[in-house]
Amino acid sequence: MFSDTPEGFRSGFVSFVGRPNTGKSTLTNALVGQKIAITADQPETTRHPIRGIVHREDAQVIVVDTPGLHRPRTLLGERLNEVVKDTYADVDVIGVTVPADEKIGPGDRWIVEAVRRVAPKTTLLGVVTKVDKVSRDRVAEQLMAVHELLGGECEVVPVSAVSGEQVDVLLDVIVSLLPEGPKFYPDDYVTDDDVNTRMAELIREAALSGLKHELPHSVAVEIDEVLPDQDREGVLNVHAVLYVERPGQKSIIAGKDGRRLSGIVHRARLEIIKLLNQNIYLDLRIKVLKNWQSDPKALGRLGF
């Protein structure tokens, strides 16, 4: 806690909930103003709560990007759901995200009911995402539908995290719903995630690119060690392991003649250089960790 906060200063925690691919992580990054959460086309990309800090003169907003609430199929899924429920019970505002280009369905209703059970007293806020993809009339229809879904006095804000449209309006509304309070983080903090976790996530994001169906859930990344290069000044050697559950998956990740793995290394290396602001050499190995999503020991080793 920091004491140099002006009178009337607001602070608190907000989390977004919604079906897979409703734009929760992209929205988190847009609000924070830089990439702290990885994004991918696959559902359930986010695996642990990531806190992004938004600093304003009148407020400090901590955006907690969480794994999505879903019906679990594995022990990993069950553990992620528990993490999500714990997070929702502790935040001040929960933004229910519904994309403008998809009709509200049973999945949305299931999520709203689950949130109300876990955090009955938490303020809900409707967020219609991806408004850049549809007409104004469609946005208006969806705003009304989300208002009906949430009921009561819930506010609903249309937004596009990609184009930046209404992101500042959404932030204003979030701040208005937060209690008065102190700063939780210093002014130069953007996230409380450690660097190794962020590097591992960037590698996983690069690996998920272009993958389909079940395989993305089977991918996990661990940073083995980070050492200064003995021969090249200013270069860091990052050694990482990418885990999959079966030998066949290892072949898919590697690709023909290792070309896919080379692409993963290239994309991840560029992102890590941006993160660290220095040159790195990325050594990435693929290992099979059999059925790790359902193995308590393996899950513990990977931090779940």
158 is in an annotated binding site: no
19 is in an annotated binding site: yes
247 is in an annotated binding site: no
231 is in an annotated binding site: no
Residue labelled with tokens 């885990």: 243
26 is in an annotated binding site: no
186 is in an annotated binding site: no
Max distance between CA atoms of the chain, in angstroms, equals: 64
From residue 144, give the alpha-carbon distance in Å to each of 53, 126, 128, 182, 300.
Answer: 30, 10, 10, 35, 44
Residue 125 CB contacts under 8 Å (≥ 6 apart), including other chains: 14, 93, 94, 95, 96, 154, 155, 156, 157, 173, 174, 177
131 is in an annotated binding site: yes
Best CA proximity match to 124, nearest among 174, 74, 182: 174
168 is in an annotated binding site: no
69 is in an annotated binding site: yes
192 is in an annotated binding site: no
35 is in an annotated binding site: no
CA distance 102 to 18: 12
263 is in an annotated binding site: no
CA distance 240 to 195: 13
97 is in an annotated binding site: no
77 is in an annotated binding site: no
18 is in an annotated binding site: yes
Residues of each annotated binding site for GTP: 18-25, 65-69, 129-132
> Which residues sit in the known binding site?
18-25, 65-69, 129-132
